[in-house]
Amino acid sequence: MNRKIFFIIPAAVLLIAQLAAAAAYVDPRLQNFVRQKGAQKARVVALMKNDGAGLAGPQRYNFRSVHQFLTARAQASWQQVKPVVSSAPNDIAVRSAFWINNSVVADVTPQGLRILSQVPNIEKIYLNGEVQYIRAAPTSGVFPRTNKAAQYPYDLVDIGIDKLMEKRPDLLGDGVRVGLIDTGVDGKHPALAGKVALFYDAKTNQIKEPYDAGSHGTHTAGTIAGGDRQATNIGVAPKAQLVASAALGSYEEMLKAMEFMLDPDKNPSTNDRPRLISNSWNTGGAPDQELFYRAISAWEAAGILPVFSAGNSGPNPKTITRPHEHPGVLAIAATGKDGKVANFSSRGPAEYQGKPVQKPDLSAPGVDIVSTVPGGGLQAMSGTSMACPHAAGVAALIFQANPNLNPAQVREVMMKTLILVDEKGNPAPSQVWNASYGFGRLNALAAIQAVTGMQNLQKGTMAQFQPTAAFQNFVGEMKSLSSQLSRLNFVNTNDLTEKYNTDPRLWLDGSRL
């Protein structure tokens, strides 16, 4: 008597068998996990293919166009992943999906990780790692709760805010929304009260009353928008409004915050997003930074200027922290009261797509910066975290002076109006990048003068525009903006389908798990 033997094959395995394609790259930090047996789970971020096949290409700085492209691509990608995920509910539990970088966050068992790595539309699988803020360097001390004298502190004098206020006291950041992703913000601080337009808690996925899980975020917020030029004079743009988020936990939380900044009310028809975003955090540990590169590119393409600290890993060369090497980012180094680069400030060059890039872009005050801390007080902190919000504040002033500028133009204004210095911090006759200061030191007064000149140029007059020697040819050069951006090593980040280099030696081969 012949007997027939039947094998029951899981639906997920059948689906995968029907899909012939290379397996995904898997984060080596998951190597020990995948060898385990049982139902224990790890949280991962699965990055889907970075293409736009069949979709209309987005227009740079047209938010509706960029939003439509990103969301349509994410929906199309998910349709290819959904059948496999749905057929393995005990091994794969999806938590979040992000259109900003075309990714999915899931809790997976070792078997679930194997299944997910075989889906053709998934390119890379990252462990849900930690996001860290750029921890403050030692300072000279703690400052009092109020600053009744209200004189200009050294950092605002260094970038020319005192002289700018003599000429344009109306430029305080009015009408400009500045994004801030950090530990949070103490919205009840007297110097910040009423300045937080929106606050998003990435951990709970809620818009709520602002809070600070530490003190870092409140300090950076104060440098951007704190005070009033009278009782407390600490902020570069004290009338700017903050769109802030507490998100310095995991990759998943950071991606939530980054996507929130693109469309806070989840209605692409309303213009509630910030013009720029200040970021003093880094994401080490992963084999590469593609999941964050994509999100940064989406910001810039949608019309948001990304401003980042360079890192506190100096003074050795090639110490720029990740993902600040992205060419669309303004990476800011830190200087002290003497105008010299701080010892802790990360040095360049950095590396992007296997090629050297000129980071930092510029430098700003970052030593003994007095700003707000939770509870109503003021305190001095040091770090490139303190330098970054100075640049963000100046960008806010530029956007107020000319709201029609796009991120590339604001970047160009800031870069071409810097105080020129050599690698030792001494005055330089021409603008040449160096690994410590970038292309020079931040100059708010010159930047606003240049923007005013641009406005006058558009009106057909050069009245009231008196360029200094440092940027006497600037207005004429703006006519050839694309060539200038190329010379400054800027790339067109509107290419939302950029193909990223992947070094297989840094990854696990998903087909061998």
One-letter amino acid identity for 1? M
Let me know the angle formed at the C-alpha of 218 by 405 and 173, rounded to the nearest 5 degrees: 25
- Asked if residues 59 and 65 have their Cβ atoms less than 8 Å apart, the reply is yes
Is 103 in contact with 109 (CB distance < 8 Å)?
Answer: no
E-strand stretches of 156-262: 177-182, 196-201, 206-207, 241-246
Instruction: State the DSSP string of 298-332.
Output: HHHHTT-EEEEE--S--SSSS-PPTTTT-TTSEEE
β strands within 359-491, DSSP E: 362-365, 369-373, 377-381
Token pair 């929130």 in the structure block, residue: 260
Helix (H) or strand (E) holding 458: helix 444-458
Cα dihedral value 258, 182, 386, 491, nearest 10: -10
SS3 364: strand
User: Considering 182, 263, 288, 368, which one is annotated as catalytic?
Assistant: 182
> In Å, what is the CA distance from 276 to each residue of 99, 233, 389?
20, 22, 11
**In which element (H, E) is residue 133 found?**
strand 132-133
**Cα–Cα distance measured from residue 182 to residue 218, given in angstroms and rounded to the nearest whole number:** 8
* Range 420-428 contact pairs with CB under 8 angstroms and sequence separation of 24 or more: 420/470, 421/339, 425/335, 425/339, 425/340, 425/341
Q: Determine whether 216 is an active site residue.
A: yes
Give CA–CA dist 160/233, Å, rounded.
Answer: 14
Q: Is residue 444 packed enough to be buried (19+ CB in 10 Å), middle (13-18) or exposed (0-12)? A: buried
From 67, 216, 324, 326, active-site residue: 216
- Point out the catalytic residue in the list 363, 382, 385, 436: 385
Rounded Cα gap, residues 46 and 114, in angstroms: 12
d(CA 138, CA 148): 25
Separation of alpha carbons 387 and 309, rounded Å: 7
Rounded Cα distance, 371 and 182, in Å? 15
CA dihedral 319, 142, 242, 413 (to 10 degrees): -50
The residues annotated as belonging to the active site are 182, 216, 385
